[in-house]
A and B are shown apart, each in its own frame.
Chain A
Amino acid sequence: MIEIHDLHKYFGSLHVLKGINLNVEKGEVLSVIGASGSGKSTLLYCINGLEPVQQGNVMVDGTDVHAKGTDINKLRQQLGMVFQQWNSFPHLTALENVALAPKIVKGKSKAEAREIAAQQLKHVGLGEKLDVYPSALSGGQQQRLAIARALAMEPEYMLFDEATSALDPELVGEVLETMRMLAEEGMTMICVTHEMGFARDVSDRVAFFHQGVMEEIGPPEQIFGNPQSEHTQKFLANVR
């Protein structure tokens, strides 16, 4: 379970997250929507400790992410993350991309790591591309590679930061399909997204962020059918 309590984040004097309280249960799929600059990416970075926080805390399965004694590298193995930019390692084949972290971070043997990698690549539909370099893959394939790379660490949670925003429209579907498949398998997911269809169909709850505040959270029926906050209404009117 991810528990976020009174989380404040500043970049210098810029107050980016203004007291976020949010719990995400095991198995839940949460979509996070909101305008550009509302702090959605920053929230994800605070959850896996890529950004320090100034007040409040984030607990992952009872461990305080930002506490001094926390082994953040170990904790991050529980928190797979997929970014807008897919960031494939260009010097490694698809298989090596996925096998690298299990090998060096988890200390798996080379054979074991490759086994895991091949399995995860098949899982996301790249079973034919094991020995291909990222430069020969489409954006959608590279993003699925990034998903496989995160899954290879066998995380309990997956954080998606606009995983489809940098893709050509015709490639968005395959990545959303992969994310949907993970959701159906019971993965706990926090998805920052601009894909309202995905948020509506796949998530258990949807959170709307506005200027660093979580203005509204609820089941998709509420957020899309009967939004309570004026800002949510405005935002949704604009994206439709």
Chain B
Amino acid sequence: MEPSVSFFSGFAPKDLLFLGEAALRTMWISVLSISIGTVLGVIFGWILYEGKWAAALTVAPVLDVFRSVPLIIQLVLFYNFAPIVGLNLDPFASGVVILTIYTAALVANVARGGIEAVEPPMRRAARSLGMSYWQDLRYVVLPIGGRAVFPAWVGVALGVMKDSALVSVLGYVELLKASQILITRTQEPFLILTISGAFYFALSYPISRYAASLERKWAQ
């Protein structure tokens, strides 16, 4: 065993593993928030569309707050104030909650736009075939409107994945936090930020490629 412990040490291969694990955590927190947030966002979008003025007075302002207050403020506020109401959440859970609501608030508007993209005559045609309101939503509005706003949704998803870096302020060791830790120890910011950036790219590139290929498939 090497007894000497130095505070500073150079970048070692095992640090790559450390960053890799952190990248997985970034992916995990993003996947959770984006998927739950998307489901909620679609429901909110539907409420915005169907609720007319009632929704405009209730749901819409709440969603506006979450869309416009900077995420970092939401995270810090929630993490520090949740215990007061008896919610003792660790940084990860707090991050998921806030990122989910944030995603839902963004997706709600995308989803409403998707529903609006399906013109009333199309929906009347579906109903005239005997489809119920829900069958029309599921089999006509969802696929047609969904495709129309898919690029916007991909933009939201990639944005949330990058914004998940902000959960580092709560101490959750995702990719950005891990990079900061390594930079402090190795004093090699350029190297580490480059690697970290490459990880972010590696997470989002397959998604945007897959999205592009889907869009191409739908276009024909």
Partner of A91, one of B121, B126, B129, B143: B143
A189 to B: closest C-beta gap in Å: 15
Number of inter-chain CB pairs below 8 Å: 59
Fill in one digit per residue for A41-82: 1 if any B CB lies within 8 Å of its CB, else 0: 000010010100000000000000000000001101101110
- B: which residues have CB within 8 A of A? 121-122, 124-132, 135, 139-140, 143-144, 147, 218, 220
CB of A153 closer than 8 Å to a CB of B = yes
Fill in one digit per residue for A124-150: 1 if any B CB lies within 8 Å of its CB, else 0: 000000000100000000000010011
| Interface residue range, chain A | 20 to 34
Whether the pair A77, B125 counts as a contact (CB closer than 8 A) is no
Residues from chain A with Cβ under 8 Å of B220 in the complex:
133
Residues from chain B with Cβ under 8 Å of A90 in the complex:
144
Residues from chain B with Cβ under 8 Å of A100 in the complex:
129, 139
Residues from chain A with Cβ under 8 Å of B218 in the complex:
91
- A: which residues have CB within 8 A of B? 45, 48, 50, 73-74, 76-77, 79-81, 83, 85, 87, 89-91, 100-101, 104-106, 133, 146, 149-150, 153
Secondary structure type dominating chain B contacts: helix
Residues from chain A with Cβ under 8 Å of B127 in the complex:
50, 76
For the complex, give the distance between the alpha carbons of A185 and B130 in Å.
Answer: 23
For the complex, give the distance between the alpha carbons of A149 and B127 in Å.
Answer: 12
For the complex, give the distance between the alpha carbons of A190 and B139 in Å.
Answer: 28
Q: Assuming the A-B contacts A76-B128, A91-B143, are A83 and B135 also in contact, with contact meaning beta carbons closer than 8 angstroms in the complex?
A: no
Question: Which residue among A48, A79, A105, A149 has the maximum number of chain B CB atoms within 10 Å of its CB?
Answer: A105
- Sample of 6 A–B contacts (CB below 8 Å): A50-B124, A76-B130, A80-B129, A81-B125, A87-B122, A105-B135
